[in-house]
Amino acid sequence: MKLKVTVNQTEYEIDVEVEEEEPKGLGPIIIGVNAGSNQIPTKASVSAVSSNAVVAPLAGSVARILVSEGDEIESGQVLLILEAMKMETEITAPAAGRVARILVAPGEPVQGGQALIEF
């Protein structure tokens, strides 16, 4: 392909080669909710801690609180469930200890990084 280019009021004629890119395929197309092969996760387990408090790893709303103030908890125990985009995320204890304060209530919206439970 020939192009005409003007630089400082001087015209130049340039030959340019254009490489054709091979179009990429769409990949597999899955019809249906699960199409029988790939499982869609409905729960995730997340350990999120900041000094003496468990914090929300993502924005969502508190679906259920599974502990009470004063409860003794074990490492890995599910403390509460957050719901975000119709997915439930289990928030687990990073270590054994005692629940000092619960800072949220069921149905309350939370932001990522917000403290949920203090030890």
pLDDT tens for 46-71 read 444 456 888 888 899 999 999 999 99
Contact 93, 106 (CB under 8 A): no
**pLDDT on residue 61:** 94
> Which pTM does this prediction carry?
0.56
Q: Which of 92, 94, 102 is nearest to 69 (CA)?
A: 102
Going from the N-terminus, what domains does the chain have, and what CATH number goes with each? Answer: 42-119 (2.40.50.100)
Question: Measured at the alpha carbon of residue 77, what is the angle toward residues 72 and 71, in degrees to the nearest 5?
Answer: 20
pLDDT tens for 68-96 read 999 999 988 999 999 988 889 999 988 88
